Amino acid sequence: MAKEKTLIEMIDISKSYDGEIVLDEFNLNIKENEFITLLGPSGCGKTTTLRILGGFTMPDTGRVLFQGEDITHMPANKRPLNTVFQKYALFPHMNIADNIAFGLKISGKSQEYINDKIKYALKLVNLSGYENRAVTSLSGGQQQRIAIARAIVNEPRVLLLDEPLGALDLKLRQEMQYELRRLKDELGITFLYVTHDQEEALTMSDKVVVMNQGYIQQMGTPEQIYNEPENAFVADFIGDSNIIDAIMVEDYVVKINGYKFPCVDAGFGKNKPVDVVIRPEDIIIGKPGKGVIDGVVTSNVFIGVHYEMCIEAGGIEWLCQNTRSFAVGSEVSINVDPENIQIMNKPQSEDEEAISLEDVLGEEKDQ
Amino acid sequence: MKNTSSAPAKIAKALYLLLIVFFLYLPIGALMVLSFNSSKSMASWQGFSLKWYKEMFANEELMEALGNTLTIALWASIIATVIGVMACVAMNAMTDRKRSIFMGLNNIPLLNADIVTGISIMMSFLLFGISLNYGTVLFAHITFCIPYVILSVMPKFRQLENHTYEAALDLGASPLYAFFKVVLPDIMPGIVSGFLLSFTMSVDDFVITHFTRGAGINTLSTLIYSQLKIGVRPTMFALSTVIFVIVLLVLVVSNFFRKDEEEEAKKASAKGKEYVYKGGMSTKKTMAIILAVVVAMAVAVRFTPSTPGEVSEKGVVYVYNFGDYIDPELVDAFYEETGYTVVCDYFDTNEEMYPVIKNNTADYDVICASDYMIDKMIKEDLLMELEFSQIPNIQYLSQNIRDFMEDFDPGMFYSAPHTWGTYGIIFNRELVDEEDFEGDVSWGILWDEKYAGKIIMPNSIREADMVTAKLLGYSMNTLDENEMKEITAKLIEQKPLVYSYANDNARDLMIGDNASLAVITSGDVLYAQEDNENLDYVVPVEGTEVWTDCWAVPKSCKNYDGAMAWINFMYSYDAAVANFEYLTYAIPNTQLEDYVYEDYIEGETILSEIEILNPSEEVLERCETLKNLGPEGDDMYSRYWKEFKSK
């Protein structure tokens, strides 16, 4: 991937609304044929980034380069990219074929070409034969696929997708995730995807950009983001985790509330305060005395694949997931494999402080 | 739930609905029925006739007013819609705070009283030295229509399918293309309703039009209003019926189309694939139909043979008159005889005309005004002297009128009488004792308990006081407080006997046999007799009020020669006869003295008309004219009137 050409460069982009900074000296490179996802909570600036790329919002400062050419002030209708909007934004007074043909008609393509393209695009999104249907007669998922078809017939170099699955129900969302990935592979164009759903981001992307408060928190493959969060925000935002204050006693040993755990990290120095991230599914629950700390199960909820339990141990409430159920009140012990303990530096500024997960999930919509 | 409601509840529901519909449509129904009544009266049905429709289409003034109404409404609503939609585009792009400020600003004119809007627009025009004309009315209408457009379009903008405009740009559309192709169809329902709202508001408007119209520009509402003095003619019922039927047709047709399309959509979606969505078509069609009807009407009106074409070489004479106060055909006759084009404009009361002349808001060459108003205007130096050498026909003015003129235009420098009359008692021979009306009749008959509940008294200060003052032997212009007390006591004493205090509709109540006696002006008598032959009129022996309506020339006159020619023409034999036949008011013209109007009622000659309209010298000697009382006198009169009213 590294050897592929850079398609879009966003350089030192800043944007504020009514004095509130949304993007602050934001830099991002997008490579050709990449599925890149901007992930973050509401107000993190991801939609603004997309709108700046689409040409709907002008940055206060900074430049946008497309194949090295400055397109910062190019109007939206001249840009070689197309957008799929959160609420589909289909034209309700036109039928499906007219919706898809909209961009092609403007660019003055012949009628035969347009007809072929419509057929091709509908086939691509598995909606062949829907040409003359009214927009309102389609389900949400179908409308979303039409919106995608409408965008891709114009053969954009980059497809911008703004939470396109946000309005769909879970089952449909999962189906559409696979469809999008398949489309991406078939079309071979760059996808820039915006979402606040970490599962979506991890499932589909080649590269995930985690954003918060106008800054990039971490950029990397889904595996890197999940397994090696660089700070507490990323750890907290990506999946459930236990984020615990700890002290790095020495290389490969971390002390949590007085209990020493072996780990695989080194180079933090001696007796350095750190944050420790432990994924709930990585906590090994055993019989009392078998683990590092003994504790008591305080709650137990069945959530489908596994049980989610809280275990009070060593003065800390541990969030655990296990396929085995331990009754509330039963005495257990906990342990963690060294490679599952992720050590992070304490945040340097207030901004990087982890925000609670409730805040993130509280508002579903991005602005 | 709904199905379980009991039978009585259902009946109650149906009854309730029926009542609502009944009350909503009863007035319109009554109006439609009356438009086919061959009688002029609203009180009695005298057979089916289409003559009012014929008269309506033949009435150039009415047709012109209709044309003005429709063209003004059409242009005003089209222009207001364009401006309003553009304003919405701008407001939609604003921040919430700014937008709410602008929406607030937009709403103020909506809530503002029409009269304030009307006067302020008129003042602005005058301030900038713009003389009032068709354009000012149009401008004013555009002004007050814009907020309605914004009010109905703005919500549509706010409901716009998220990001469709941006999606269109994204797909390569230019902003303009995107607006017309994507945004416009979505907000079309709002635009249509804004347009229709503007259109109806414009057609309905009276107050603002009244203040901003120039000489000779009438819409239906101002024309109808100005005709109240003589009484609304049934042609108005015919016109209202036509308008109502057209609106009904438009509604039915547009509903029919919409239903059609809905069914098509339903069928198609049931079948699945074949349906071709025709978004926005129904509104477009409705719009097209409405526009077509309006344009057709406006064009039809414009092309009906109208006033003698272009303005004549000799120029235009602007006549400001009470509504329907001359035979309308005289306008053309005057043009043929003298070459002047006449533009008529109308008012309802002297008080309405006065500020227009005083503030010079429109330039009129000739006005018609009542005696006391002439008096007032002479004193305020608003009138020009008449050059009687240019009015040779003034020789035909009756001598007895010249005597009365000494009261308000001593020496007769400023005015020339148009009509005159007396107040007296109209009675129904079938409903009163004939004996009571043999020989001299006294105003006292209105206090006769025999006629309790059958008497109609005037509902205005001066006329009611005049009747009483004359009965008591006082002047009708008395300023003596003791006499006033006596008059008021006498009026209060009469109260239990009175069927109604009425002005304009006294005539119709008499035609409809609702009362036996009424105080009425002589001019209305022939009109009433035409519809009810049992009616007769008498001027009481104590004397009465003589009123005169005169032609005069305001200082704003731009065509003095034309004004003189007009007045001279009014005294010609043909004009006097035409006016008399049209108005049935007394025309003070000696040429009419020998004239016996033979076929006024088929085959019957009314000789008495001379008596009714021209009382004997003996009676006239006891008559007076209405005089200005001055502010203190006015105060006293209204104080005692209030006292009487509150008892």
pLDDT (mean) for B537-559: 90
Residue B595: pLDDT band (50, 70, 90) is: low
Are A99 and A207 in the same domain? yes
Strand ordering across the sheet containing A6-17: A20-31, A6-17, A61-66, A69-70
Same fold, B316-419+549-585 and B421-548+596-646: yes
Enumerate the residues of chain B whose CB falls inside 8 A of the CB of residue A87.
161-163
Tell me what the mean pLDDT of segment B258-272 comes to.
55
Q: Break chain B into its structural domains and give their ranges.
A: 60-232, 316-419+549-585, 421-548+596-646
Residue of A nearest to B187 (CA): A93
Per-residue pLDDT tens over the stretch A14-70: 998 888 888 888 888 898 888 999 998 887 888 889 989 988 889 999 999 998 889
B563 closest CA partner among B338, B375, B398, B287: B338
Residues A203 and A286 in one domain: no
Q: How far apart are CA B101 and CA B108, in angstroms?
A: 11
Residues B443 and B540: beta-carbon distance below 8 Å: yes
Question: Is residue A357 scored above 70 in pLDDT?
Answer: no
Could A54 and B161 be called an inter-chain contact, meaning their C-beta atoms sit closer than 8 Å?
A: no
B269 touches chain A (CB under 8 A): yes
CATH for B60-232? Answer: 1.10.3720.10
Residues ≥6 apart with Cβ < 8 Å to A25: A12, A13, A14, A62
CB B492 within 8 A of CB B501: no
Which domain CATH number covers A327?
2.40.50.140
Cα within 13 Å of Cα(A81), Cβ side? 29
| Residue B146, min C-alpha distance to chain A (Å) | 27
Q: Any chain A CB within 8 A of the CB of B172?
A: yes
Residues A175 and A239 in one domain: no
Dihedral angle of Cα A95, A101, A102, A108, to the nearest 10 degrees: -150
**In this complex, which of B170, B182, B265 lies closest to A76 when CB atoms are compared?**
B170
Q: How many CB atoms sit inside 10 A of residue A326's CB?
A: 17
Helix (H) or strand (E) holding A148, with range, is helix A140-152
Average pLDDT, integer, range B592-604: 55
Q: Binning pLDDT at 50, 70 and 90, where does residue B284 land?
A: low
Q: Is the pLDDT of residue B365 over 60?
A: yes
User: Residue B41: which pLDDT band, with cuts at 50, 70 and 90?
Assistant: low
User: CA dist A117 to A123, A128, A132, A223, B521, Å?
Assistant: 10, 12, 15, 37, 86
Which residues are paired to B192 by β-bridges?
none
pLDDT in tens, A240-276: 788 888 888 888 889 888 888 888 888 888 888 888 8
Is it the case that residue B286 has pLDDT exceeding 70? Answer: no
Of the two residues B407 and B82, the one the predictor is more confident about is B82
Q: What is the pLDDT of residue B229?
A: 58
Q: Check pLDDT > 60 for residue B607.
A: no
Q: Give the residue-averaged pLDDT of A166-174.
A: 78
Distance CA B445, CA B426 (A): 12
B268 vs B354, more confident: B354
3-class secondary-structure state, position A276? strand
B599: pLDDT strictly greater than 80: no
Out of B168, B265, B280, closest to residue A102 by CB: B168
pLDDT for B313 equals 66
pLDDT-wise least confident of A120-124, A173-177, B264-268: B264-268
Residue A94 lies in a domain: yes
H or E element that contains B480: none
Query: Is residue A311 classed as helix, strand or coil in its secondary structure?
Result: strand
Q: Are residues A56 and A134 in the same domain?
A: yes
Tally the domains of chain A: 2
Output the CA–CA distances (angstroms, integers) from residue B438 to B242, B545, B558, B622, in the order listed: 48, 22, 54, 20
Question: Nearest residue of A to residue B175 by CA position?
Answer: A77
Task: Among B95, B163, B171, B278, pick the best mutation site for testing chain A contact (most A Cβ within 10 A).
Answer: B171
Mean of the pLDDT values across residues B275-295?
57
Distance CA B553, CA B600 (A): 34
Determine the structural domain holding residue A323 and report its residue range. Answer: 232-346
d(CA A194, CA B55) in angstroms, rounded, equals: 73
- CB burial string B70-85: b at 16+ within 10 A, e below: bbbbbebbbbbbebbb
Chain centre to alpha carbon of residue B416: 26
- Shared domain for A208 and A245, answered yes or no, is no
Of the listed ranges A353-357, B85-89, B419-423, B642-646, the one predicted with least confidence: A353-357
Would residue A174 count as lying in a domain? yes
**CA dist., res. A128 & res. B267, Å (int):** 22
Q: How many angstroms separate the CA atoms of B216 and A303, rounded?
A: 84
Q: How many CB atoms lie within 10 A of CB A182?
A: 12
Q: What are phi and psi of B37, to 5 degrees?
A: -80, 130
Q: Is there a contact between B470 and B519 (Cβ–Cβ < 8 Å)?
A: no
- Spatial separation of the C-alpha atoms in residues B540 and B544, rounded to whole Å: 7
φ/ψ of B42, rounded to 5, equals -85, -10
Q: What pLDDT does A181 receive? A: 87
Phi and psi at B612, nearest 5°, equal -65, -45
Q: Is the pLDDT of residue B278 over 60?
A: no
A359 domain residue, yes or no = no
**From the CB of residue A185, how many other CB atoms can be counted at a distance below 10 Å?**
10
Ramachandran region, residue A62 (left: φ > 0; alpha: ψ -120 to 50; beta: rest): left
Window from A321-335, A339-353, B75-89, B246-260 with minimum mean pLDDT: A339-353
Domain B421-548+596-646: what homologous superfamily? Periplasmic binding protein-like II (3.40.190.10)
Say which residue, A355 or A83, is predicted with more confidence.
A83
Place of tokens 């000296």: A25
| Span of B221-235, B281-295, B479-493 with lowest mean pLDDT | B281-295
Reduced to 3 states, what is the DSSP secondary structure of residue A160? strand
A142 located within any domain: yes
pLDDT band, very low/low/confident/very high, at B271 (cuts 50, 70, 90): very low
Pairing of strands A293-302, A331-336: antiparallel
Q: Which residue, A190, A209, A227, sits at the end of a domain?
A: A227
Match 């696929």 to its residue by tokens. Answer: A145
User: Which position has the higher pLDDT, B83 or B163?
Assistant: B83
Instruction: Return the pLDDT at B307.
Output: 45
From the list A78, A93, A151, the residue facing B279 with the nearest CB is A93
Average pLDDT of B349-361? 82
- Average pLDDT of every residue of chain A: 84
The answer on A244 and A150 residing in a single domain is: no
Identify which has the larger pLDDT, B285 or B333: B333
Residue B547 Ramachandran class (φ > 0 left, ψ -120 to 50 alpha, else beta): beta
DSSP 3-state assignment of A249?
A: strand
Inside any domain, residue A220: yes
Tell me, what's the ipTM? 0.75
How close, in Å, is residue A235 to chain B by CA atoms? 33
Given B269, B276, B279, which is nearest A92 (Cβ)?
A: B279
Residue A142 forms contact with B (CB below 8 Å): no
Partner B, chain A 65-94, Cβ-Cβ below 8 Å: 75-78, 82-83, 85-87, 89-94
Q: Distance between alpha carbon B208 and the CA centroid of its chain, in Å?
A: 14
pLDDT value at residue B237: 84
Per-residue pLDDT at B311: 53
> pLDDT value at position B3?
52
The mean predicted confidence, pLDDT, of chain B is 82
Residue B38 and residue B602 in contact, taking contact as beta carbons nearer than 8 Å: no
| Domain B316-419+549-585 is found in CATH 3.40.190.10 | yes
Confidence of residue B111 (pLDDT cuts 50, 70, 90): confident
> What DSSP state is assigned to residue A94?
S
Higher pLDDT, B614 or A7: A7
**pLDDT-based confidence at B416, cuts 50/70/90?**
very high
pLDDT band at B602 (very low <50, low <70, confident <90, very high): very low
A151 close contact with B: CB closer than 8 A: yes
DSSP B502: -
In total, chain B counts a number of residues equal to 647
- In whole angstroms, what is the distance from residue A41 CA to residue A195 CA? 8
**Pick from B391, B369, B387: nearest CA to B320:** B369
**Mind listing the pLDDT tens digit for each residue in B64-100?**
888 888 889 889 999 999 999 999 989 888 888 888 9
Q: Percent of chain B beyond pLDDT 70?
A: 86
Q: Going by C-beta distance under 8 Å and a sequence separation of 6 or more, which residues neighbour residue B362?
A: B131, B132, B213, B214, B215, B318, B320, B345, B356, B556
CA distance B593 to A341: 125
Smallest Cα–Cα separation from A147: which of B280, B171, B276? B171
- Cross-chain Cβ contact B166/A129 below 8 Å: no
C-alpha–C-alpha distance, residues A317 and A309, integer Å: 10
Whether residue B261 has pLDDT greater than 60: no
3-class SS at B108? helix
A58–chain B Cβ distance below 8 A for any pair = no
At B226, is the pLDDT very low, low, confident or very high (cuts 50, 70, 90)? confident
Could you tell me if A129 lies within 8 Å of chain B, comparing CB atoms? yes
- Of all residues in chain B, what percent carry a pLDDT higher than 90? 17
In the chain, the amino acid numbered B88 is: C
- d(CA A36, CA A260) in angstroms, rounded, equals 39
The answer to whether residues A146 and A161 belong to one domain is yes
Write out pLDDT tens, residues B188-217. 888 988 888 898 888 888 899 988 887 777
Partner B contacted by A157 (CB < 8 A): no
DSSP-derived 3-state class of residue A2: coil
Q: Can you say how many angstroms the Cα of residue A171 is from the centroid of all Cα atoms in its chain? A: 18
Chain A CB contacts of B170 under 8 Å are 54-56, 76-77, 82-83, 151
* Burial class of residue B106, CB neighbours in 10 A (0-12, 13-18, 19+): buried
Closest CA to B242 of B28, B511, B434: B28
User: Residue A215 domain-assigned?
Assistant: yes
Is 60 exceeded by the pLDDT of residue A168? Answer: yes
Planar angle of CA B223, B226, B227, nearest 5 degrees = 90
Q: Is the pLDDT of residue B561 over 70?
A: yes
A133 lies within 8 A of chain B by CB: yes
Q: Which CATH number do you get for residue A117?
A: 3.40.50.300
| C-beta atoms surrounding B428 within 10 Å | 20
| Least-confidence region, from A259-263, B338-342, B618-622 | B618-622
User: Which among B167, B274, B276 has CB closest to A89?
Assistant: B167
Give the span between the Cα atoms of A142 and A137, in whole angstroms: 10
Give how far the C-alpha of residue B169 lies from the chain's centroid of Cα atoms, to the nearest Å.
53
Confidence label for B43 from pLDDT (cuts 50, 70 and 90): low
